[in-house]
Structure 1
Amino acid sequence: MNLKVIGTGCEDCDRLYENTKQAIAQLGIDAELEKVEDLMEIVKLGVMTAPSLMKDGKLIISGQVVSTDKIVKLLQK
């Protein structure tokens, strides 16, 4: 599983990254977690709002920080 937290390095982006890291640990899954902060890369991904979370190339969270529990549920789908 490939996960990308997308944002320009703001406080909310950092919080979403940490919540995602905790969700991966809770689930005990093998996932590659990446932080995308480069504006050109964000544009290439087609993401318009930050923070966002992509799972295997699909946007699953857009423009908000969500709890670790919610991320766990989204990753289990």
Structure 2
Amino acid sequence: MKIQVLGTGCAKCKSLEKAVREVVAQNNIDAEVTKVEDIMEIMKFNVMTTPALVVDGKVVVKGRVPSNDELKQILTNKIFLI
């Protein structure tokens, strides 16, 4: 699974990246987590409000930081709530 955290470096963006990495580690999820800070790359996903979470090329959360429980549900069940 490829997970991308989109954000320019604000506190919420950092918080989402940290939470995603924690959930991946705690649940032994086989995933590659990357942070995308380049605004031109972020805009390719049609995201105007950060932070955003992209799983396997699909934007699943944008404009907020979901709870760790919600992240676990998204990443383990691939339930995309957007």
Question: TM-score under structure 1 normalisation?
Answer: 0.94
Q: Which residue of 1 aligns with 2:80?
A: none
Which amino acid letter does the alignment assign opposite residue 41 of structure 1? E
Q: Which residue of 2 aligns with 1:62?
A: 62
Unmatched runs of 5 consecutive residues or more in structure 1: none
Root-mean-square deviation (CA), in Å?
Answer: 0.9
Verify the 8 A CA contact 2:4 2:36 in the aligned structure 1. yes
**Counterparts of 1:26 and 1:69 in 2: how far apart (Å)?**
12
Q: Which residue of 2 aligns with 1:11?
A: 11
Higher relative contact order (CA 8 A, sep 6+): 1
Tell me which protein shows more helix as a share of its residues.
Answer: 1
Q: Which residue of 1 aligns with 2:23?
A: 23
Unmatched runs of 5 consecutive residues or more in structure 2: 78-82
Q: CA deviation at 1:45?
A: 2.2
Query: Runs (4+) of structure 1 moved beyond 3 Å?
Result: none
Q: How many aligned positions are there? A: 77
